[in-house]
């Protein structure tokens, strides 16, 4: 088994979540406020750091707009939009797998693969089973597997302990991913899509956090490595 480990964030790295998580944030905010927000506002908070949890991010935007629903009610509404109500209508089904055919298969011959995501682990596994059931990501560490979410390095340290890997890289798309990697002493590879609002700011943030390289998408990863 390869002794080097590639750890992937999921949203914005393995999966395009423009029409799933990002749209769910927008619809959740609209439900409670009657107002529409753009992706620019979401990315602005992401770039400010500390907003890895999309439930908390949606709740904060709603409060910023002058409304005060409970956190629990926001989570409930968010999940009903994202997962649907049993009629195959959840926005989760709009997700798109970002990796081109053969990319991860080729990397898996040289590296072990793992996932550290802010999603609940069960939701992360649902997406992996849907798009990449033939690949082994081990371990998959989600939000419910750690006491402190990103930018805390707990998840990466847990993966290092569980795998005993000699070399680890973390691939992520937010400043919280980068800060988690730096705190864990793990080299960071940033993903900054050409469609990301505030992309130049994001690249600067990655560079400030000592990213070893910044890519437009995951399909440039093999060449970069």
Quote the mean pLDDT of the chain.
95
Same domain, 164 and 81: no
Residue 147 has pLDDT above 90, yes or no: yes
Of the three residues 70, 93, 116, the one that is the final residue of a domain is 93
Residue 225 has pLDDT above 90, yes or no: no
Domain of 220?
A: 4-17+95-224
Same domain, 68 and 103: no
Of the three residues 93, 113, 131, the one that is the final residue of a domain is 93
Same domain, 105 and 87: no
Q: Tell me the whole-structure pTM to 2 decimals.
A: 0.94
Of the three residues 45, 71, 93, the one that is the final residue of a domain is 93
Residue 87 has pLDDT above 80, yes or no: no
Q: What is the β-pairing status of strands 137-141 and 188-191?
A: unpaired
Same domain, 10 and 52: no
C-alpha span between 160 and 168 (Å, rounded): 8
Same domain, 105 and 57: no
Residue-level pLDDT at 198: 87
53 close to 18: Cβ distance less than 8 angstroms: no
Q: How far is CA 215 from CA 92, 137, 149, 222, in A?
A: 25, 22, 24, 11
pLDDT classification of 122: cutoffs 50, 70, 90: very high
Same domain, 140 and 216: yes
The number of distinct structural domains making up the chain is 2
C-alpha span between 200 and 192 (Å, rounded): 9
Cis geometry, peptide bond prior to residue 139 (ω within 30 degrees of 0): yes
Residue-level pLDDT at 1: 57
Residue 86 has pLDDT above 90, yes or no: no
């Amino acid at each position: 088994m390869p002794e080097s480990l590639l750890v992937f964030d999921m949203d914005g790295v393995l999966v395009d979540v423009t029409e799933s998580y990002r749209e769910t944030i927008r619809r959740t905010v609209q439900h409670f406020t009657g107002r529409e927000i753009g992706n620019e506002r979401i990315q602005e908070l992401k770039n400010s750091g500390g907003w890895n949890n999309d439930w908390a991010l949606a709740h904060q935007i709603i409060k910023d707009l002058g409304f005060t629903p409970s956190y629990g009610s926001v989570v409930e509404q968010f999940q009903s939009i994202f997962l649907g109500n049993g009629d195959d209508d959840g926005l989760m089904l709009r997700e798109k797998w970002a990796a081109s055919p053969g990319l991860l298969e080729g990397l898996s011959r040289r590296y072990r693969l793992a996932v550290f995501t802010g999603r609940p682990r069960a939701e992360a596994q649902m997406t992996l089973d849907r798009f990449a059931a033939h690949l082994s990501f081990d371990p998959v560490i989600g939000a419910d597997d750690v006491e402190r979410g990103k930018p805390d390095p707990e998840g990466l340290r847990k993966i290092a302990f569980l795998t005993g890997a000699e070399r680890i890289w973390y691939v992520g798309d937010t400043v919280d991913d980068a800060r988690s990697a730096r705190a864990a002493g793990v080299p960071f590879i940033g993903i900054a899509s050409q469609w990301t609002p505030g992309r130049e700011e994001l690249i600067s943030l990655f560079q400030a956090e000592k990213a070893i390289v910044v890519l437009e998408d995951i399909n440039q990863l093999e060449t970069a490595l």
